[in-house]
Amino acid sequence: MENNLTVYNTLSRRKEKFEPMNPPFVGMYVCGPTVYGDAHLGHARPAITFDLVYRYLKHIGYKVRYVRNITDVGHLEHDADSGEDKIGKKARLEQLEPMEVVQYFTDRYHQNMSALNVLSPSIEPKASGHIIEQIEMIRKILEAGFAYEVNGSVYFDVVKYNQNHNYGILSGRVLEDLMTATRELEGQEEKHNPADFALWKKAQPEHIMRWPSPWSDGFPGWHLECSAMGTRYLGEQFDIHGGGMDLLFPHHESEIAQSVAANSKAPVKYWLHNNMITLNGQKMGKSLGNAISLFDFFAGNHNLLQQPYSPITIRFFILQAHYRSTLDFSNEALQAADKGLKKLMAALATLDKLAVSEKSTSNITELRKKCYDAMNDDFNSPIAIAQLFEGVRIINSVKNKKETITDTDLEILKKTMIDFVFEILGLKQEEAGRSNELIDELMGTILILRQKARESKDFATSDLIRDHLAKLNIIVKDTKEGVEWSLEE
Amino acid sequence: MENNLTVYNTLSRRKEKFEPMNPPFVGMYVCGPTVYGDAHLGHARPAITFDLVYRYLKHIGYKVRYVRNITDVGHLEHDADSGEDKIGKKARLEQLEPMEVVQYFTDRYHQNMSALNVLSPSIEPKASGHIIEQIEMIRKILEAGFAYEVNGSVYFDVVKYNQNHNYGILSGRVLEDLMTATRELEGQEEKHNPADFALWKKAQPEHIMRWPSPWSDGFPGWHLECSAMGTRYLGEQFDIHGGGMDLLFPHHESEIAQSVAANSKAPVKYWLHNNMITLNGQKMGKSLGNAISLFDFFAGNHNLLQQPYSPITIRFFILQAHYRSTLDFSNEALQAADKGLKKLMAALATLDKLAVSEKSTSNITELRKKCYDAMNDDFNSPIAIAQLFEGVRIINSVKNKKETITDTDLEILKKTMIDFVFEILGLKQEEAGRSNELIDELMGTILILRQKARESKDFATSDLIRDHLAKLNIIVKDTKEGVEWSLEE
């Protein structure tokens, strides 16, 4: 297995050669959704980014164990340690058991992921299913002296930790600055320092999600689940931890502190962060009220959307930007992605029909190498896609007899296009689209024949067509703009 | 909400009026799969049976919380308390983390369920995610004196329980008979009596799935998870517990004993059990080696299958038998189901085009009532389906002007057909089928026009058709049997 892969490590702030600790095995953990609402475009980006990483690592021969969690407890409203549990609140408002809320939105998240052709992770653990592991980890942190208990809650002692370790190693934040930041949020008064964070919170009487623990009936802090589940399924040290840049601080910074405190080891070798999707330059997020759900994208169901966009168009749109760049949403960009995707698929469909020649006019081996070079350079999908469009150009030129290709080169081109488009980028020909296109085309032919029959006053034929279409519930209308047809439901 | 529903309660061995404890709420727990292999036809039956129950209860106005679990730990090979954990064994053989096995087969189970149009349950808890709840329940059973600890394992004391309670209340088994049954399985020697069963098993060193507990690092017994999760999400007493008849003993019998011992209350008001699917009269099961997976059914990929059968055909086949009857698999029966389903869907498609008259020749109100009567009689879907086919007969007769129907009756007929076919029985027009049918029909029209053009030596038209089809990769062949066409991939 040749491996020239380099990845940008947030920890070192530079690209590093990718050398997993125990090849050919790779352990990868990615922060998944907090399931109290529908996923929006912002959620699609980490899912697709790390799906690309997962697919590419497998493609170049690694055996990847990919863990992506579901947060179903402990994520409080203010992302700090105060306010109501996000899922508990939704459950209270809708008069449901919290796990009904979790199930509902987890199912819908899975529907979205499947539509986006995002592969299932190897393991998808839920925070509420790993309370024991979290309690054990808190016990270890307490024993190591990096946490303290107040009134049944346990907090991580950031100041003490920072004496011998670096709280800020990942985010570059400086503890002094964090200490002076004023915080007036409820529940903060138990902390020794404002930078401390909860490992275990005692549940208020009205709090529904609660478990017994050595300290109180309560629930784990939000940062803890990822440390506990990462350790449980990937070991105390693993290769890759991914997530959105918005999770870098305090979530990932705190994960490192927890693992170092509990296991005396840095948990992760490579930290990878995808950048954000913006809307007119503004961050998109449920709490900001400007997030369009994926279901709305697929249905074209939002006043900012000029049309529906298919899941694979959205996927292609996201892959057309490097994961560390910001990506701004616009109808124009999505429409361009849709057009590009159709062009790519159309070229792929003609690959099997190209004539071969004695000589190739393009360097196909070089093209293939450039595709891999792009992906090996920190998963640079836009550069790889540009190369694939060079492939599209060659395919169309050969088809139009403007270029030639040898038998061997055609095989290489085919393999490159198919490997990258389907296996690595995870694009696909959308089935419904395909059938619908065929139906459109066949109807086009029939309407031309209808027109011809009318012009030549061949009423037997035009009546035959009318009757056949009526039987199929197809309504044909002659309008000023031409003939329109529709399928009555 | 008028409610004339009666259900057959295994506990009383007779049909009882359905009266939930806290209407309009209904709590329902159904035993889900142990995820160490693909679901087969046998798994489809409880899923579809209780999906029908869930849909019907919702249809008549109940608010149902439906819990269906995933067993991902504690189910040992011999279904008794010995042998290897089924998932742990699969994981060992495939060199995977057990939760990778769980994730893989859970995802595939969900794919099957979605194809069968089985609704997601309200909550789908996993046994491994509820260890704390199980430990708490064992503690209560120990405190009540109905369990004992041996070498770090805890067993339920069936003999002691049976002194004041009835171990056998559900299954009708007699404890004396169970005691004399010889058991020579490994791990039985710790039990005071062969009828006792494990609540907690100390893990052997090689056992991967293990959690800390007051008794040992170990794992819960198989029967315990359903009692613990049922109590957690539905309370100490709830309305319906469902499952396959094969789970009646010892699984459900032991669930009752556990709950009574822990909570001093009978946990469930109505116990519902679906019968088995047989293959040439033999039980079908993974351990018997004669089970055909659902994926194989959908693909027609097994030497016992004459063709692929679509998921909705399988659903219809299962609904055509009452859930308490055995159902024998055969190609003939499935082909008949497929034909019946097509006939039903075809009639539904013409519902909107029927002409109305002054008088109805059939009693539509009576038909509607009979549909509800059937479902109210212990969910008798075959009788309801027979009534729907009476509806089909009426639709076709009205269409062919052999019968008449009034406007009002047509509305009742429409509502009845649509409510029962789609909402209650959960059937649907399969999408791919629909597009493909349309493509077939349009091609049929085009080929007739081609034939006409040829006969009248209108070469311009026949050439136009040939060129259009070639562009769409459609190949037309004139054979002795007639014209055939195919779509080149």
Among residues A45, A44, A53, A98, which one has the least CA distance to residue A75? A98
pLDDT confidence band for A244 (50 / 70 / 90): very high
How many CB pairs (< 8 A) connect A and B? 118
Q: Are residues B320 and B243 in the same domain?
A: no
Across the interface, whether the CB atoms of A130 and B125 are under 8 A apart is answered: no
A122 and A137 in contact (C-beta within 8 Å)? no
Which domain range does residue A51 map to? 6-274
Rg, C-alpha atoms of chain B? 27
Q: Are residues A270 and A295 in the same domain?
A: no
Residue A228 has pLDDT above 50, yes or no: yes
Average pLDDT, chain A: 92
* N-term to C-term CA, chain A: 54
- β-pairing, A277-279 vs A282-283, is antiparallel
Q: State the pLDDT at residue B431.
A: 67
The DSSP bridge partners found for residue B197 are B156
Q: State the pLDDT at residue B187.
A: 60
Q: CATH no. for residue B342? A: 1.10.730.10
- Closest-CA residue of A relative to B119 is A107
Rounded mean pLDDT, B103-131 = 97
- Closest-CA residue of A relative to B462 is A449
Identify the residue whose tokens are 């601080």. A249
* A417 domain residue, yes or no: yes
Across the interface, whether the CB atoms of B124 and A130 are under 8 A apart is answered: no
pLDDT confidence band for A431 (50 / 70 / 90): low
Tell me which of B250, B274, B298 is where a domain ends: B274
Q: Are residues A419 and A341 in the same domain?
A: yes
Residue A125 has pLDDT above 50, yes or no: yes
Residue A166 has pLDDT above 50, yes or no: yes
Rounded mean pLDDT, A196-217 = 93
Given 3-state DSSP classes, what are the helix, strand and coil percentages for chain A, each rounded to the nearest 5? 50, 15, 35
The residue type found at B259 is S
Neighbouring residues of B225: CB distance < 8 A, sequence distance ≥ 6? B69, B71, B73, B74, B127, B130, B134
Q: Are residues B131 and B261 in the same domain?
A: yes
Q: Which contacts (CB < 8 Å, 24+ apart) does range B17-26 have?
A: B18/B270, B20/B62, B20/B239, B20/B269, B21/B237, B21/B238, B21/B239, B21/B269, B23/B62, B24/B61, B24/B62, B24/B63, B25/B62, B25/B63, B25/B64, B25/B65, B26/B57, B26/B62, B26/B63, B26/B64, B26/B65, B26/B239, B26/B240
Q: Out of A65, A102, A436, name the one closest to residue B100 (CB).
A: A65
pLDDT tens digit sequence for B373-392: 999 999 999 999 999 999 99
Rounded mean pLDDT, A126-136 = 97
Residue A257 has pLDDT above 60, yes or no: yes
* A133 domain residue, yes or no: yes
Residue B359 has pLDDT above 60, yes or no: yes
Percent share of chain B, pLDDT over 90: 72
Q: State the pLDDT at residue B79.
A: 59
Q: What whole-number distance in Å separates Cα of residue B268 and Cα of residue B258? A: 12
Phi first, then psi: give them for residue A38, nearest 5 degrees: -75, 145
Q: What whole-number distance in Å separates Cα of residue A315 and Cα of residue A313? A: 5
Distance of CA A37 to the CA centre of its chain: 16
Residue A196 has pLDDT above 60, yes or no: yes
Q: Cβ contacts (< 8 Å) between A233 and chain B: which residues?
A: 97, 99
Q: Are residues A358 and A287 in the same domain?
A: yes
pLDDT confidence band for A332 (50 / 70 / 90): very high
Which two tokens mark A301? Answer: 């169901």
Q: What whole-number distance in Å separates Cα of residue A334 and Cα of residue A489? A: 29
Please state at what angle helix A431-455 crosses helix B431-455, rounded to 10 degrees.
Answer: 30
Across the interface, whether the CB atoms of B124 and A103 are under 8 A apart is answered: yes
Q: Out of A104, A123, A461, name the one closest to residue B449 (CB).
A: A461
Best mutation target among B63, B96, B99, B200 (most A Cβ atoms within 10 Å) is: B99
Q: How many CB atoms lie within 10 A of CB B172?
A: 11
Q: Are residues A206 and A158 in the same domain?
A: yes
Residue A188 has pLDDT above 90, yes or no: no
Q: CA angle, B86 as apex, B81 and B88 as ends, to 5°?
A: 110
- Closest-CA residue of B relative to A102 is B123
Question: Which of A12-21, B79-88, B404-413 is the least confident region?
Answer: B79-88
pLDDT tens digit sequence for A347-374: 998 998 899 999 999 999 999 999 999 9
Q: State the pLDDT at residue B435.
A: 72
Higher pLDDT, B420 or B84: B420
Which two tokens mark B275? Answer: 């019968």
The residue type found at A280 is N
Q: State the pLDDT at residue A80.
A: 61
Tell me which of A274, A298, A316 is where a domain ends: A274
Q: Are residues A416 and A442 in the same domain?
A: no
Q: Are residues B321 and B378 in the same domain?
A: yes
Rounded mean pLDDT, A213-219 = 97
Q: Where is A434: in which H helix or E strand?
A: helix A431-455
pLDDT tens digit sequence for A3-19: 799 999 999 999 999 99
Residue A488 has pLDDT above 90, yes or no: no
The total domain count for chain B is 3
Residue B198 has pLDDT above 60, yes or no: yes
Task: For residue B76, give how far its alpha carbon lies from the nearest alpha carbon of chain A (Å).
Answer: 21
pLDDT confidence band for B1 (50 / 70 / 90): very low
pLDDT confidence band for B283 (50 / 70 / 90): confident
pLDDT confidence band for A475 (50 / 70 / 90): confident
* B247 domain residue, yes or no: yes
Across the interface, whether the CB atoms of B432 and A435 are under 8 A apart is answered: yes
Q: State the pLDDT at residue A433.
A: 59
Residue B438 has pLDDT above 50, yes or no: yes
Residue B172 has pLDDT above 80, yes or no: yes
Higher pLDDT, B476 or A52: A52
* A429 domain residue, yes or no: no
The DSSP bridge partners found for residue A132 are none
Residue A130 has pLDDT above 80, yes or no: yes
Residue A28 has pLDDT above 50, yes or no: yes
Q: Cβ contacts (< 8 Å) between B435 and chain A: which residues?
A: 432, 435-436, 439
Tell me which of A249, A274, A299 is where a domain ends: A274
With helix as H, strand as E and coil as C, how does chain B read?
A: CCCCCEEEECCCCEEEECCCCECCEEEEEECCCECCCCCEHHHHHHHHHHHHHHHHHHHCCCEEEEEECEECCCCECCCCCCCCEHHHHHHHHHCCCHHHHHHHHHHHHHHHHHHCCCCCCCECCEHHHHHHHHHHHHHHHHHCCCEEEECCEEEECHHHHHHHCCCCCCCCCCHHHHHHCCCCCCCHHHCCCCCCEEEEEECCCCCCCCECCCCCCEEECHHHHHHHHHHHHHCCCEEEEEEEHHHHHHHHHHHHHHHHHHHCCCCEEEEEEECCEEECCEECCHHHCCCCEHHHHHHCCCCCCCCCCCHHHHHHHHHCCCCCCCEEECHHHHHHHHHHHHHHHHHHHHHHHCCCCCCCCCCHHHHHHHHHHHHHECCCHHHHHHHHHHHHHHHHHHHCCCCCCCHHHHHHHHHHHHHHHHHHCCCCCCHHHHHHHHHHHHHHHHHHHHHHHHHCCCHHHHHHHHHHHHHCCEEEEEECCEEEEEECC
* A1 domain residue, yes or no: no
The DSSP bridge partners found for residue A271 are A241
Across the interface, whether the CB atoms of A97 and B132 are under 8 A apart is answered: no
Q: Out of A65, A97, A439, name the one closest to residue B97 (CB).
A: A65
Q: State the pLDDT at residue A479.
A: 78
Q: What whole-number distance in Å separates Cα of residue B372 and Cα of residue B258? A: 37
Across the interface, whether the CB atoms of B124 and A132 are under 8 A apart is answered: no
A103 and A88 in contact (C-beta within 8 Å)? no
Q: Are residues A339 and A360 in the same domain?
A: yes
Q: What whole-number distance in Å separates Cα of residue A143 and Cα of residue A149? A: 12
Q: Are residues B216 and B353 in the same domain?
A: no
Q: Please return the burial class of A163, using the count of CB atoms within 10 Å of its CB with bins 0-12, 13-18 and 19+.
A: exposed
Residue A405 has pLDDT above 50, yes or no: yes
* B1 domain residue, yes or no: no
Q: Are residues A199 and A247 in the same domain?
A: yes
Q: State the pLDDT at residue A1.
A: 45
Q: Are residues B366 and B225 in the same domain?
A: no
